[in-house]
Structure 1
């Protein structure tokens, strides 16, 4: 395990709380061993962990299964991954895992300690979507885990393409009010193939029966704005100005959705 001094130095370097660095570091070791399970990493954590070094920090690990695995099988696989992560990293991971089923798959918390002592523990939430609840439209890719720390972690993991991550982020804008989705679409827009995004956007909305209601999205602008700072200030040093970000995202998403709606009506 890296020294506590390094964790504090990284927190100063990135301008985030020590707890954000602790979780980021522990996530990497957990991901190394979760990679043995046949599932693909997705979401904001997928962006930071394999695509863009120094991207915003993310609290949860989100996956989609690539095969049918029972709840008991998932729990056993994750327990084994936690054990290996503790042995390899020296981090105090705990094995009291409570796997819960939900309408889309499974979720559980993995607890750990680095600088905290006694009964105080940090957690990493893991969300796993079942194969029948989310259809991947672009094959996952295998990429090296980005590990900006001084110890040796050399591993790869299956992950969504950036285009499919962005499409799910766009869909999420119409489902719930999470500022991080606005930020992610804005940051990634110039780094993706918009053509590829357009190809799979209609099917992604159809899978979850989500309506492309541009007016509703625009009307929630103030709700996104109110949560902007509190949601993102612990995840990155330089938080961009909300109005500029939202305006850009709204402009691009509106164009894309209008084009998609036209195609669907033909």
Structure 2
């Protein structure tokens, strides 16, 4: 049996913007009861990641956004991003956002090599993918 912990973040600070999605937690191998939780759409999670890149400055947020774009096909929603940034009296600007990512370029590999289990993509490729997604 795998004993890897799974963390679930729950916040009541802000309301979910997009229609919440139902998430079924059903893991019979752990003898846990089945639970249905309400969660954010992946497009909204992407908007949260953009806000985090501006405000939290953790390389994992860059990787998470890249993963959501490449593996989950999330869509960029400028209006939703601006709503997320309102809390900080900010609005989205592509150039300043890409600059925020570039500020973490030197630290990116060091911060993520022990977290990401697969080969870590080059940060320049990640920036290119995110930049294209924002167009």
Tell me the TM-score range normalised by the shorter chain. 0.7 to 0.9
Report how many aligned residue pairs link the two structures: 132
Per-residue deviation, 1:62 = 2.5
Two-structure CA RMSD over aligned residues (Å) = 2.8
Structure-1-length-normalised TM-score: 0.42
Per-residue deviation, 1:165 = 0.6
Q: 1:240 — aligned with what?
A: 121
Structure-2-length-normalised TM-score: 0.74
Q: 2: CA distance between counterparts of 1:150 and 1:234? A: 27
CA contact (8 A) 2:78 2:92 kept: no
Unaligned runs of 5+ in 1: 8-20, 28-60, 66-129, 256-266
The structure having more radius of gyration, on CA atoms, is: 1
Runs of 4+ in 1 over 3 A off after TM superposition: 213-223
Per-residue deviation, 1:166 = 0.7
SS of the residue aligned with 1:174?
helix
CA contact (8 A) 1:169 1:185 kept: yes
Per-residue deviation, 1:221 = 4.1
Distance 1:146 1:230, change over 3 A: farther
1:151 to 8, 30, 33: 30
Which is strand-richer, 1 or 2?
Answer: 1
Per-residue deviation, 1:164 = 0.9
CA contact (8 A) 1:175 1:210 kept: no
Q: 1: CA distance between counterparts of 2:88 and 2:69? A: 23
